Structure 1
Amino acid sequence: MRAPDWLTARPVAHRGLHDASRGIIENMPAAARGAIAGNFAIECDIQLSADGEAMVHHDYELGRLTEGSGLLIEKTAAELKAVSFKQTDERMMTLNELCNLIAGRVPLVVEVKSTFQGDHRLVRRMAEVLAAYSGPVVGMSFDPDQVRALRQTMPTLTRGIVAQRSYEDGYWAKLTQPQRDSMLHLKHGLGTQPHFVAYWVEQLPAPAPWIARNVFGCPLLTWTVRTPEQRAAAARYADQMIFEGFTPET
């Protein structure tokens, strides 16, 4: 199965078309509405709630962008839906609510966040939601195990791997060295069989995504494009960009 042409036809708004200076925060409903108005695909993150719901949020904890504190996994969907984004009246969404908001008008790129502990409940809930959704949608994750779960649970869903050249920075300190090594160079490809790759723009060009794109025909998205220099790199090395901080003219 090849990735659909619509995946790379338009720039992808990273966590929606957000602008904190205007009170529009990433992954909240207004960011999705802004992307729809601009005809941009929407990238979003999903996290698991205590009762197994797929919540649209990047961080594992409350507090950076929202009121409240604590881990999302320790709160129910009802508790999380009551959480407001700072200095706004908007609340956290479920994946189902986001799908209803988009209603197929623009493509949706869903990133499955992972604690790298082999828990596939979030993928299973995602499958339940998407079974009733007819709009254009793909799934992806940094965690090869979650991508394998996407392959097994939703074999007809276009899936991708989010990747970078190395995993030694502080964000990845929670992982063991074998876990980090298993993510290198897309060497999990036989198990994950991704249809596309989303690669860090600051680490392009790189051999692994070049091979995936030019030998195996996997479209290459690149994240997160914010500057003119990064946009030039995206245009040179990738098929489409995942962007934030500006509104593309095309």
Structure 2
Amino acid sequence: MAGLHRVAHRGYSAVAPENTLPALAAGVLAGATLIEFDVRTTADGVPVVIHDRTVDRTTGGTGHIWELTLDEISALEAGSWFSPAYAGTRIPLLREVIDLLRPHAVLAPSAEEAGVTPDTAPRIELLLEIKPPTTPEQVKVILGQVTEAGLRDRTVVQSFDPEIVQLVGEVAPDVRLGLLRHGFDDEQARVAKELRLSYVNPNLRAVLADPPAVAALADAGVGVMPWTPNDTALWPALVEAGVAGLINDRTGELTGWMIARGLA
């Protein structure tokens, strides 16, 4: 089962503060094939990259993202909670994240002219999670930034909210879609077909408990990438269950483990 995705969850978040530019850059260097990150929108309509609904856990500030302006969020320090080495790190704009990752996702014409192809220089892809609450206009702004960067074909957009996934599919029919889940249910295959999903990404326990559901989705052309298996002892069973990749925090270890077993 070669070619499994190595997904850097919020970047290489075992070695740098999650969803920051250092973590995302580290994910690239550690061999991730997909860089996962979370997008929310500020009170004044600017997409930023942060997981939580509030800034409380990862900064010295307080408040919901959608109640804070970009200026207020940009003033917050978002690295010291992880390590003093990252003091001064900020919550990044989506545009900054795209600018960081784009050179690793798209081959420049000069590279192609020199004979460098995706086979000789593997490219990353983006796994962009849109967090609720969001509006149709905010979704359009997020997808607009991806489009302006020429990364629509290098991006999978996912959410826990099926309505957001449906909206993304309406705004950008050519973008691959993923639905995050806590577990599988009897309607999974039907929902996957209706939403035109490329991926269903559940909790790792759901995969271990129900490998037939993984197989059924695979038969329908839908990959399954569980979150967040950080325990290396679980990786063989998840691979045996037929997953399309693993979303975890230990990117470097996962890359080495897959390469050693011929899975990369």
Matches within 5 A, 1:1-250: 9-19=4-14, 24-40=16-32, 41-87=34-80, 88-105=87-104, 106-115=124-133, 119-135=135-151, 136-165=154-183, 185=188, 187-204=190-207, 205-206=209-210, 207-214=212-219, 216-237=220-241, 238-245=243-250, 247=252, 248=254, 249=256, 250=259
- Structure 1: how far apart are the matches of 2:230 and 2:13? 13
How far, CA to CA, are the matches of 1:202 and 1:104 in structure 2? 35
CA distance in 2, matches of 1:124, 1:74: 20
Deviation per residue, 1:113-164 (Å, 9 max, x gap): 113xx73333111111011122421101110000001100111111111112
Q: Distance in 1 between matches of 2:218 and 2:5?
A: 18
Q: Mark the CA change 1:163 to 1:90 in structure 2 (over 3 Å): closer, same or farther.
A: same
Give the direction of change, closer, same or farther, for the CA distance of 1:55–1:232 in structure 2 (3 Å limit).
same
Instruction: Give secondary structure in 2 for the equivalent of 1:110.
Output: strand
One-letter amino acid of the counterpart of residue 135, structure 2: D
Give the counterpart letter for 1:152 in structure 2: E
**Percentage of matched positions with identical amino acids:** 23
Structure 1 pair 75–244 and aligned structure 2 pair: CA distance change class (3 A): same
Q: Give the TM-score, by structure 1 length.
A: 0.81
What is the CA RMSD across the aligned residues, in angstroms? 2.2
Distance 2:45 2:234 in 1: 37
Distance change (3 Å), C-alpha of 1:200 and 1:157: same
In structure 2, C-alpha distance between the alignment counterparts of 1:133 and 1:56, rounded to whole Å: 17
Q: Measure the CA separation in 1 of the matches of 2:29 and 2:225.
A: 22
Query: Partner residue of 1:175?
Result: none
Q: Secondary structure at the match of 2:235?
A: helix
**Rounded Cα–Cα distance in structure 2 between residues aligned with 1:102 and 1:210:** 32
- Could you list the runs of 5+ residues in structure 2 that have no partner in the other structure? 81-86, 105-123, 260-264
Task: Check whether the contact 1:202–1:230 (CA below 8 A) recurs between aligned residues.
Answer: no
On the 8 A contact 2:8/2:250 being kept in 1, the answer is: no
Question: Which residue identity does 1:134 align to in structure 2?
Answer: G
Q: Does structure 2 conserve the Cα–Cα contact (< 8 Å) formed by 1:201 and 1:233? A: no
Question: Aligned-pair distance for 1:9?
Answer: 4.7
Name the SS of the counterpart of 1:222 in structure 2.
Answer: coil
Whole-Å separation in 1 of the counterparts to 2:49 and 2:181: 21
The answer to whether the Cα contact below 8 Å between 1:54 and 1:94 also exists between their aligned partners in 2 is yes
In the alignment, the residues of structure 1 paired with residue 174 and residue 225 of structure 2 have an alpha-carbon distance, to the nearest angstrom, of 20
Which letter maps to 1:16? G
Count the aligned residue pairs. 222
Question: How far apart are the structure 2 equivalents of 1:190 and 1:160?
Answer: 12
Q: Which has the higher contact order (CA 8 A, sep 6+)?
A: 2
